Amino acid sequence: MFPMLWAEKHIDIGTNVFDKEWDLLIILDACRVDALKEVSPEFNFLDDINSIWSVGSTSKEWYANTFQGNRPEIGETALVSGNGWVEPLFEGQPNWSYWTMTRHSIWHNSSVINNALDRPLPSKEDFGEYVTVYEDRGGDCGTVALPDDVTNAAIKTGRETNTERMVVHYMQPHAPYLHERDGNKLPKMHNSPFESLRNGSTSREEVWEAYLNNLRLVLHSVENLLANIDADEVVISSDHGELFGECGLYSHIAACPHPALKRVPWVTTSAEDTHQMEPELSTEDINVDTKTRLRDLGYL
Give the C-alpha separation, 228 to 213, whole Å: 24
pLDDT at 95 over 90: no
**Beta bridge partner(s), residue 28:** 170
Q: What is the pLDDT of residue 1?
A: 44
pLDDT tens column, 226-261: 999 999 999 999 999 999 988 889 988 887 889 999
Residue 6 clears pLDDT 60, i.e. is over it: no
pLDDT in tens, 256-285: 889 999 999 999 999 999 999 999 765 444
Lowest mean pLDDT among 20-24, 166-170, 197-201: 197-201
Lowest-pLDDT range of 26-40, 143-157, 281-295: 281-295
Distance from chain centroid for Cα 81 = 8
- pTM comes to 0.87
Which residues form the domain of 190? 2-296
Percent of the chain with pLDDT over 70: 79
- Ranges assigned E (strand) in the chain: 24-28, 50-53, 77-81, 129-132, 165-170, 231-237, 243-244, 250-251, 263-271
CATH code of the domain covering residue 37: 3.40.720
Provide the number of structural domains found in the chain. Answer: 1
Position 215 confidence tier, pLDDT thresholds 50, 70, 90: very high
Banded pLDDT at 100 (limits 50, 70, 90) = low
Confidence category of residue 55, pLDDT binned at 50, 70, 90: very high
Contact 228, 275 (CB under 8 A): yes
Answer yes or no: is pLDDT of 7 > 70.
no
